[in-house]
């Protein structure tokens, strides 16, 4: 399966192998939910196309009546014969017969009046039904795109962190917004009316053959090269559109990267350099869009040209027949109108064609994302963690011969084997890039291990539902992420905690004072990414967030690094209370902060190099002792 980061070439080959029908079928389950509306839309097709096909006949009859070429009665008699061939119910037959008898006695002005009224009726029918149809199609379209957007969002959130490592955010945003929007456009531009256009063409062809087969045949034959050309341009347009979408993704990714890194951009004066990069990507996007415009215009131009040939052909062949009195002027007029009508739905089709092709490209790209396998799933037969009892303390973490690589065979952790006992406070230290944070990510199952087993209270983390695992393993990272919303909701994070519980958690972590000092206390609105809080303030909320969940294992990954010494001391005191009776895994670079832990695991290049208390490790005089001495030296300097 193609990953989202796959090159356009590999996506292209996949694209070719995937039929459009298969893509369309992906939308069918969504459309099925709006069966009733769609059924109404399709049932309106028949009266709409029949009313449309009758109009040229009515005009032709009026001309014939004026020129006394034939009686209106003849037309009905002709229709009658046609209907007889179609073996319609006898009720309709008798109705037409009665109508024909009525017409026989009409004068010319009466005939013209009658034809005008009939023409008006067809116009009103078409106008009314088209409005209803258009409204329903757009409404269903919006509903379907909203459903797809929701599903896509839910799917993206369920994908493993590994997927996000390799997928630029801008690319994902493009798929969730522009691509889904392009699919929505298929409906809003009335592209779904393609069925109705095709149906109109079919009805017109049928009526034409019933009237005069030679002219009908000529017009139908003209349809063949048109269809060929449309298919040719369609393929070209499709590839161009896919490329344009890829360029748009790149553009959005670049934009997003610049916004996220705006401080660095400005601090290092990269504005003009980045602007030039953006300009290049933007130019590539414009070029790609130009190609799509070219093929789009080519289709419209072809159709216009063919429609002109059709009218000329009808005039020429029909004109010769009129002169030879093999054809009435009325029928010729009918056919001139038909030749326009026949190509009008085709022209409409060409206009919708852009939206349809863009829609198909969008479905293809949405499909790529939807097909991304959910790498980390809940087990089929989930287990639950043992519950607290007086006899058995809980919170054991065991890594049994764990190996892990972000990229194949590029081992970040190798044969890691250790056990952290319930209630034990363990620090993991080691040089930068040793794999400390990776251990935490694996424990929380943000990534799947390559070999070995990770057990929490004797249960393999892969046998636990992710929600259960993450409820019992509380993690505080260095960067406390803040969502747009108030302080309270940033602590409860969507779970049902009362305000009292939130306040209690804040008190417990000594952060209540800070929150109460905010303009609206717990109701203070925080901006996206917490831009109206300092790094340390965000961290304080992260502590309250962990405390309220009452986890049996608490992981602190450089959690106090961004706090000032005073705040750190206040939090440290609260932390000690919080950690009572819980297992703690602490990652810290400042070794002075972890001197009091029960045990220190020293990690080096993914291996467990040393393990023991501070004193034991100092005595061993190994990696830890040298790191510690180096830090002491650093502090003295």
Ligand X SMILES: Nc1ncnc2c1ncn2[C@@H]1O[C@H](COP(=O)(O)OP(=O)(O)OP(=O)(O)O)[C@@H](O)[C@H]1O
Q: How far is the CB of 575 from ligand X (least distance, A)?
A: 20
Count of CB atoms within 10 A of residue 105's CB? 8
Question: Which residues lie below 8 Å from residue 496, measured CB to CB, with a gap of 6+?
Answer: none
Of 173-181, 186-194, 363-371, 429-437, the window that binds ligand X (rule: CB under 6 A) is 429-437
Query: Is 435 an interacting residue with respect to ligand X (CB under 6 A)?
Result: yes
Q: How far is the CB of 127 from ligand X (least distance, A)?
A: 59
What is the rounded distance in angstroms from the CA atom of residue 391 to the CA atom of residue 261? 52
With CB under 6 A as the rule, give the number of residues binding ligand X.
Answer: 11
Q: How far is the CB of 604 from ligand X (least distance, A)?
A: 10
User: Which H, E and C letters describe 12-46, residue by residue?
Assistant: HHHHHHCCHHHHHHHHHHHHHCCHHHHHHHHHCHH
Q: Which is nearer to ligand X, 436 or 599 (CB)?
A: 436
The tokens for 457 are 């209270």
The tokens for 222 are 């003209």
Of 167-175, 431-439, 468-476, 546-554, the window that binds ligand X (rule: CB under 6 A) is 431-439
| Residue 427 φ/ψ, nearest 5 degrees | -105, 140
The tokens for 615 are 């004193």
Which residues from 151-170 bind ligand X, rule CB under 6 A?
165
Q: How far is the CB of 559 from ligand X (least distance, A)?
A: 13
Q: How far is the CB of 623 from ligand X (least distance, A)?
A: 13
The tokens for 359 are 């829609």
Element (H, E) at 503: helix 499-508
Question: Which residues lie below 8 Å from residue 474, measured CB to CB, with a gap of 6+?
Answer: 546, 549, 551, 553, 554, 555
Q: Which is nearer to ligand X, 22 or 166 (CB)?
A: 166
Query: Is 433 an interacting residue with respect to ligand X (CB under 6 A)?
Result: yes
Query: Is 560 an interacting residue with respect to ligand X (CB under 6 A)?
Result: no
Note whether 600 and 614 are within 8 A (CB): yes
Q: How far is the CB of 562 from ligand X (least distance, A)?
A: 14
Q: Which is nearer to ligand X, 228 or 433 (CB)?
A: 433
Q: How far is the CB of 434 from ligand X (least distance, A)?
A: 4
Which residues from 381-410 bind ligand X, rule CB under 6 A?
406
- Candidate residues 2, 111, 438, 492; the one interacting with ligand X per rule CB under 6 A: 438
- Candidate residues 48, 58, 355, 434; the one interacting with ligand X per rule CB under 6 A: 434
Query: Is 601 an interacting residue with respect to ligand X (CB under 6 A)?
Result: no
Q: How far is the CB of 411 from ligand X (least distance, A)?
A: 9
Which residues from 407-426 bind ligand X, rule CB under 6 A?
412
Q: Which is nearer to ligand X, 161 or 570 (CB)?
A: 161
Nearest to 162 by CA among 474, 374, 466: 374
Note whether 552 and 584 are within 8 A (CB): no
Query: Is 304 an interacting residue with respect to ligand X (CB under 6 A)?
Result: no
What is the rounded distance in angstroms from the CA atom of residue 637 to the CA atom of residue 633? 6
β-strand partners of 456: 397, 459
Q: How far is the CB of 163 from ligand X (least distance, A)?
A: 11
The tokens for 553 are 């294992």
Let me know how long the chain is.
Answer: 637
Note whether 64 and 114 are within 8 A (CB): no
Of 14-22, 35-43, 309-317, 436-444, the window that binds ligand X (rule: CB under 6 A) is 436-444
Q: How far is the CB of 615 from ligand X (least distance, A)?
A: 24
Q: Which is nearer to ligand X, 408 or 500 (CB)?
A: 408
Query: Is 436 an interacting residue with respect to ligand X (CB under 6 A)?
Result: yes
Burial category of 68 from C-beta neighbours within 10 Å (exposed 0-12, middle 13-18, buried 19 and up): exposed
Q: Which is nearer to ligand X, 332 or 588 (CB)?
A: 588
The tokens for 587 are 């990652």
| Strands (DSSP E) found in 273-325 | none
Q: How far is the CB of 591 from ligand X (least distance, A)?
A: 12
Of 75-83, 177-185, 434-442, 455-463, the window that binds ligand X (rule: CB under 6 A) is 434-442
Query: Is 528 an interacting residue with respect to ligand X (CB under 6 A)?
Result: no
- Candidate residues 85, 87, 263, 432; the one interacting with ligand X per rule CB under 6 A: 432
Of 243-251, 254-262, 428-436, 610-618, the window that binds ligand X (rule: CB under 6 A) is 428-436
- State the sign of the Cα–Cα–Cα–Cα dihedral 514, 515, 517, 518: positive
Q: Say how far residue 207 (Cα) sits from the centre of its chain.
A: 44
Binding positions for ligand X, rule: CB under 6 A = 165, 406, 412, 430, 432-438
């Amino acid at each position: 399966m193609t990953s989202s980061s796959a090159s356009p070439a590999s996506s292209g080959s996949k694209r070719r192998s995937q039929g459009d029908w298969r893509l369309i079928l992906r939308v069918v389950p969504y459309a099925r939910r709006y069966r009733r509306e769609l059924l109404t839309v399709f049932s309106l097709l028949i009266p709409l196309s029949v009313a449309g096909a009758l109009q040229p006949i009515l005009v032709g009859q009026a001309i014939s009546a004026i020129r006394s070429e034939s009686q209106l009665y003849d037309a009905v008699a002709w229709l009658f014969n046609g209907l007889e061939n179609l073996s319609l119910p006898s009720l309709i037959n008798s109705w037409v017969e009665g109508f024909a008898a009525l017409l026989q006695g009409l004068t010319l002005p009466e005939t013209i009046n009658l034809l005008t009224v009939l023409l008006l009726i067809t116009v009103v029918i078409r106008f009314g039904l088209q409005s209803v149809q258009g409204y329903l199609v757009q409404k269903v379209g919006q509903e379907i795109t909203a459903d797809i957007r929701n599903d896509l969002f839910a799917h993206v959130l369920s994908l493993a962190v590994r997927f996000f490592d390799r997928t630029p955010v801008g690319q994902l945003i493009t798929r969730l917004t522009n691509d889904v929007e392009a699919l929505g456009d298929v409906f809003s531009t009335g592209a779904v009316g393609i069925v109705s256009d095709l149906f109109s063409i079919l009805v017109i062809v049928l009526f034409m053959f019933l009237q005069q087969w030679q002219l009908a045949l000529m017009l139908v034959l003209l349809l063949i090269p048109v269809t060929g050309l449309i298919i040719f341009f369609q393929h070209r347009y499709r590839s161009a559109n896919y490329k344009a979408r890829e360029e748009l993704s790149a553009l959005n990714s670049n934009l997003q990267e610049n916004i996220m890194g705006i401080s660095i951009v400005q601090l290092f004066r990269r504005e003009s350099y980045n602007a030039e990069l953006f300009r290049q990507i933007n130019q590539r996007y414009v070029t790609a869009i130009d190609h799509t415009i070219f093929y789009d215009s080519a289709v419209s131009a072809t159709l216009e040209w063919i429609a002109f040939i059709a009218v000329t052909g009808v005039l020429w062949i029909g004109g010769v027949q009129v002169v030879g009195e093999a054809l009435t002027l009325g029928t010729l007029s009918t056919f001139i109108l038909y030749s326009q009508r026949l190509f009008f739905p085709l022209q409409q089709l060409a206009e919708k064609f852009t939206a349809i092709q863009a829609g198909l490209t969008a479905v293809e790209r949405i499909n790529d994302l939807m097909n991304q396998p959910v790498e980390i799933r809940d087990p089929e037969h989930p287990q639950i963690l043992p519950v607290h009892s007086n006899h058995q303390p809980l919170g054991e973490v065991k890594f049994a011969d764990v190996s892990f690589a972000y990229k194949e065979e590029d081992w970040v952790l190798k044969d890691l084997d250790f056990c952290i006992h319930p209630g034990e406070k363990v620090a993991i230290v080691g040089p930068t890039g040793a794999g400390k944070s990776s251990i935490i990510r694996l424990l929380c199952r943000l990534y799947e291990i390559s070999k070995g087993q990770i057990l929490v209270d004797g249960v393999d983390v892969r046998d636990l539902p992710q929600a259960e695992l993450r409820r019992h393993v509380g993690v505080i990272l260095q960067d406390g992420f803040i969502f747009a919303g108030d302080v309270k909701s940033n602590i409860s994070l969507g779970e049902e905690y009362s305000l009292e519980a939130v306040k209690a958690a804040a008190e417990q972590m000594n952060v209540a004072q800070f929150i109460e000092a905010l303009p609206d206390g717990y109701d203070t609105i925080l901006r996206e990414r917490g831009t109206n809080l300092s790094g340390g303030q965000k961290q304080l909320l992260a502590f309250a967030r962990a405390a309220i969940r009452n986890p049996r294992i608490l992981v602190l990954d450089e959690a106090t690094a961004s706090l000032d010494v005073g705040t750190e001391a206040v939090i440290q005191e609260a932390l000690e209370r919080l950690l009572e009776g819980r297992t703690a895994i602490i990652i810290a670079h400042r070794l002075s902060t972890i001197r009091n832990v029960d045990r220190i695991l020293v990690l080096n290049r993914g291996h467990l190099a040393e393990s023991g208390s501070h004193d034991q490790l100092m005595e061993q005089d190994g990696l830890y002792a040298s790191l510690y001495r180096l830090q002491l030296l650093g502090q003295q300097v």
